[in-house]
């Protein structure tokens, strides 16, 4: 039998309906693959094989009756930021200890209601704070890709990007058909770019945030990481939707994104912002960008130079807004109501001991930054000013939409890097998000598509940014890039 784990989500869906294999067989194939790979890649922090097989059995019963739901029997991974009923959810932090929610995140519930099978919880940077998945309490995730130098494979372990590094690594290594992820400043798109997968961050409000462990509430948004553009379109359609439990979730119909994929881009206006040509961007990233421009032009799109003048302020403004909201959201972890508790001599001592033991270095760093910018005397100077800059960034895009339909940029300034190469320099790590944070600051949709390989044979991605709630156009343009670049499967399963 064909290796079922190498199928795309769309291929697996069609194979199940055609009865070429069962949901149980498909799920068992992924469980076996996870057992072999996870000790080496650390993509899953918790596997749920019994739960998955029970869901697969139900799917087989429905398939036999001709009552298949849209995602019937399709095994996916679930980022550990999504609460799962009765199943440990920690946001990859010690402070949540053995927390088992008594509720299901709306995005997850939407997927299970559509028939998807959950294989387990995926690793992420602690509370989604990071760009390399090195800050997880469960240890770092290893990118399934490896560099080639001088014609020889370099065994240096590479990061898979972050915070959704477990999601991107699992999809890239064929340990699930697709995965849930979240994006606060690039945490879907950046890891997708570093692992040769497709990741879309939808418009703020398109997917419910209810049941997702909060990092920065005005920036966080759920989305999928998948093997192909079509797969990501299928997943997003069933993740999105109105949720009255989330006041920021927009009540509007969710289109059939899969139908958009094949529509092409003839007549589409593509903007190329001059401000994204930043100092330090490698020549191969710039060359990839030029390729993307040529591919879209050859497919019938028109190319337009545009200006987004406040882009240079996006990263510093983001690293004021996000830590400020992080500081507020993480104040709830006090060792009293749930999670880790380290007893102290009094209440304040208990708070301090619990947070000292429970939070990692990067989380502490961001809490301290956030508390500082919100403190008396600094709120107006920092936080309020950053929010004004955020408005200007959004206004730049609003002005651009009169001339273009989508914007094309690189996703990351460089390919995947090795463990520890940037972890000791927070500024270098924060610069990983230089091309992605504007999308979150403006609340826009953005997608990363694999577009080429670096000189060392590792993936690089291109990013498309769209108008609010116009994810369909992003899928159209992304499919053109995927068609031109081809897919980049992992060269070998070195962990086997």
**What positions carry a catalytic annotation?**
79, 163, 187
Give the separation between CA 8 and CA 459, rounded to whole angstroms: 18
Q: How far apart are CA 423 and CA 402, in angstroms?
A: 41
Beta strands of 108-165 (E only): which ranges?
117-122, 148-149, 152-153
CB atoms within 10 A of CB 365: 16
What are the two backbone dihedrals, phi and then psi, of residue 79, each rounded to the nearest 5 degrees? -55, 140
379 touches 373 (CB < 8 A): yes
Q: Please state whether 225 falls in left (phi above 0), alpha (psi between -120 and 50) or beta.
A: beta
Q: Are 51 and 76 in contact (CB under 8 A)?
A: no
Cα separation, 105 vs 243, whole angstroms: 11
In degrees, rounded to 5, the angle at the alpha carbon of residue 169 between the alpha carbons of residues 467 and 235 is: 45
Q: Which tokens go with 206?
A: 């398109």
Instruction: Please name the residue that has the structure tokens 């962990």.
Output: 495
CB 407 within 8 A of CB 271: yes
Helix (H) or strand (E) holding 97: none
């Amino acid at each position: 039998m064909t290796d079922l784990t190498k199928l795309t989500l769309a291929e697996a869906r069609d194979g199940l309906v055609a009865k070429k294999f069962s949901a149980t067989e498909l799920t068992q194939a992924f469980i076996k693959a996870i057992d072999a790979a996870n000790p080496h890649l650390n993509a899953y922090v918790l596997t749920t094989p019994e739960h998955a097989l029970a869901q697969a059995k139900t799917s087989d019963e429905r398939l036999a009756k001709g009552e298949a739901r849209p995602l019937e029997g399709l095994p996916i991974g679930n980022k550990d930021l999504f609460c799962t009923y009765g199943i440990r959810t920690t946001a990859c932090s010690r402070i949540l200890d053995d927390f088992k929610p008594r509720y299901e995140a709306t995005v997850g519930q939407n997927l299970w209601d559509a028939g998807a099978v959950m294989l387990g919880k995926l690793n992420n940077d602690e509370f989604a704070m990071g760009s390399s998945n090195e800050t997880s309490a469960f240890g770092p995730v290893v990118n399934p890709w490896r560099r080639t130098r001088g014609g020889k494979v370099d065994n240096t372990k590479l990061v898979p990007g972050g915070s959704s590094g477990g999601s991107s690594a699992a999809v890239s290594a064929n340990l699930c058909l697709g995965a849930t992820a979240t994006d606060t400043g690039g945490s879907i798109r950046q890891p997708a770019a570093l692992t040769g997968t497709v990741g879309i961050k939808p418009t703020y409000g398109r997917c419910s945030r209810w049941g997702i462990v909060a990092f920065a509430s005005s920036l966080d948004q759920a989305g999928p990481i998948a093997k192909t553009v079509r797969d990501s379109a299928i997943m997003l359609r069933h993740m999105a939707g109105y949720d009255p439990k989330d006041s920021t979730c927009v009540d509007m119909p969710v289109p059939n994104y899969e139908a958009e994929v094949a529509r092409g881009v003839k007549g589409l206006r593509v903007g190329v912002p001059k401000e994204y040509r930043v100092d330090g961007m490698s020549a191969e990233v710039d060359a990839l960008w030029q390729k993307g421009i040529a591919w879209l032009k050859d497919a019938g799109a028109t190319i337009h130079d545009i200006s987004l003048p406040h882009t240079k302020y996006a990263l510093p403004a983001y690293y004021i807004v996000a830590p400020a909201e992080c500081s507020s959201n993480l104040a709830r972890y006090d060792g009293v109501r749930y999670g880790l508790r380290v007893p102290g001599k009094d209440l304040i001592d208990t708070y301090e001991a619990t947070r000292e033991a429970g939070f990692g270095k990067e989380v502490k760093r961001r809490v301290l930054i956030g508390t500082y910018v919100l403190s008396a005397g600094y709120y107006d100077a920092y936080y309020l000013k950053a929010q004004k800059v955020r408005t200007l960034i959004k206004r730049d895009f609003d002005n651009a939409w009169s001339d273009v339909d989508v914007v094309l940029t690189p996703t990351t300034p460089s390919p995947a890097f090795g463990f520890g190469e940037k972890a000791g320099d927070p500024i270098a790590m924060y610069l990983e998000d230089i091309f992605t944070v504007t999308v979150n600051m403006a609340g826009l949709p953005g997608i990363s598509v694999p577009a080429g390989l670096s000189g060392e044979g590792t993936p690089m991605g291109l990013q498309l940014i769209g108008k609010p709630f116009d994810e369909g156009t992003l899928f159209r343009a992304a499919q053109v890039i995927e068609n031109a670049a081809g897919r980049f499967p992992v060269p070998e399963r070195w962990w086997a």
